Homo-oligomer: A and B are copies of this chain.
Amino acid sequence: MNVPVLAPLTPAARRVLDAASELFYERGIHAVGVDTIAEAAGVTKKTLYDRFGSKEALVVAYLQHRDAQWRDLLDKYLTRVPEPGPDRVLAVFDAAISWSDENGAKGCSAINARAEIGDGHDGHPVFPEIARQKVWLLDLFTEILRDANDVDPATMAKRMMLLYEGAIVTVGMETYPHPFDVARDMARSLLTAPAR
């Protein structure tokens, strides 16, 4: 479904990517230098550049890596609810609750990355990646809803997307606790409500 498969990594490259993922997510992309990443990974800067080519490319790999982990978790939750229906939509929110509990204290890495790149996102390789991730999820919602015989899957998917994005941001902003529970509740109401 149009997701990039990252090339197999050498052991040192793995450590670089893991270190970069943690540091970029927790401190922000611009705030973390390549020396810091190399040191945290127990690797020389030369190795980092030999494997990834540039910091920008490493940032893209970081975003792909985190998204791949999220999709893996999501798959687990979706295969547990195989029959088409509203419960499959709710499974996305259940996965998001689990994900944000363990890996999401600062919100969505794609949204956070967006904040750090200019709005002239021409030629910047980060924007296509994060745009792709968001469209992928919107499309997933649409498919699940179509399979569930929703009367207007495209519109309902936009609504689900809004709830999802609102919740993940609220996690990062700490506006109030457990926003995904609220989002899940709203989704359930929308999906089980009689047609108005």
Contact = CB atoms under 8 A, between A and B. Distances in A.
A85 interface: no
B118 A105 contact: no
Nearest to A127: B174
Main secondary structure of the interface of A (DSSP, over half): helix
Interface string A152-196: 000100110111111101101111100100110010011001001
Given A159-B182, A162-B183, A176-B161, A26 B119 contact: yes
Contact of A118 (B28, B116, B172, B190): B28
Nearest to A181: B158
A59 to B, nearest CB: 13
A162 B182 contact: yes
Contacts of A175: 131, 134-135, 138, 161, 165
Interface-centre pick from A28, A115, A173, A175 (highest chain B CB count, 10 A): A115
Contact of A158 (B173, B176, B196): B176
A30 interface: yes
B158 A110 contact: no
Contact of A116 (B30, B163, B170): B30
Contact of A164 (B30, B166, B183, B196): B166
A138 B172 CA distance: 15
Contacts of A182: 155, 158-159, 162
5 contacts: A30-B116, A107-B114, A111-B173, A112-B115, A189-B196
